[in-house]
Amino acid sequence: MAAQVWVARFPDFPFRPLALSRLHSAGVHSYWCLMGTLRLGVNLDHVATLRQARYAAMPASKNAEPDPLVAASLCERAGASGITAHLRADRRHMQDRDLERLRANIMTKLNLEMGNTPEIIDFALLLQPDEVCLVPEQREEITTEGGLDLLRHERELRPTVKRLNAAGIRVSLFIDPAPDQVEMAKQLEADIVELHTGALANAFTEKVEQQELERLRAAAIGAANFGLQVNAGHGINYRNISLIRQIPHLVELNIGHSIISRAIFVGIETAVSEMLALMKNYPG
């Protein structure tokens, strides 16, 4: 029914991810949710991590493997709706060239995760990804831990969001599921919030699990009421996806580590297909 409504309103609209900007400019922020499809963005950082373990000094070598671009193509062939990659300041996994090759070759959409630093902002403006997800970044962490504190960093974030939006890049903010963070995301004029699901994924008791699930539900409802697209990511795997499905208003899940880990045993296309099968019939 939702699809018929939007076809009627936008009869010439080509229903594909690369055309999101047209709906966005028309004031529609939750197109994929309306279509009833929970999308999967595959984070390929750890494909690059494996390559860097052997080829850090020469990532462009003809022998350097695995290649994130090959992995991206296989993910898309398996049904992924987008590719996510984090260009960190220390370049511990993805390199500038990786993002440039992904931007030039993938068929879906590119979501660039990044810290709010001048060098990476300038790179993003040149790269022109479909989306940017601003995340906290600490050199001592192994992977991103915790959401970006929007209240603490409002002053630095506001001009970055404006610059990216002015360049036609949709902006996502990776936040903990707290009402004040959701409200600030709206005030900053972000397009998307990505709810940090790590506390739910790592809950050791059923009580904590339910508490975290309620926090995520409330944050998702609040964000949707503000007109923000609601994504989720961090620690999502083939077991806890059943919990994630209980969060309302989700449009996209960004999953990396679990899919790449599973791919070691079954191949990346099968790993993506298995996750997509668990995401089917999302109640919304």
269 a catalytic residue: no
d(CA 72, CA 122): 24
- Interacting residues of 259 by C-beta distance below 8 A, sequence separation 6+: 42, 43, 268, 271, 272, 275
Answer yes or no: are the C-beta atoms of 245 and 283 closer than 8 Å: yes
Query: Cα torsion at 125, 129, 130, 136 (round to 10°)?
Result: -80
234 a catalytic residue: yes
d(CA 59, CA 183): 41
d(CA 49, CA 55): 10
d(CA 196, CA 34): 22
The alpha carbon of 247 is separated from its chain's Cα centroid by a whole number of angstroms, namely 16
86 a catalytic residue: yes
Of 29, 46, 196, 234, which one is the catalytic site residue?
234
Q: Which amino acid is at 67?
A: D
Of 113, 137, 194, 212, which one is the catalytic site residue?
113
Of 29, 46, 86, 249, which one is the catalytic site residue?
86
Catalytically active residues, by annotation: 86, 113, 234
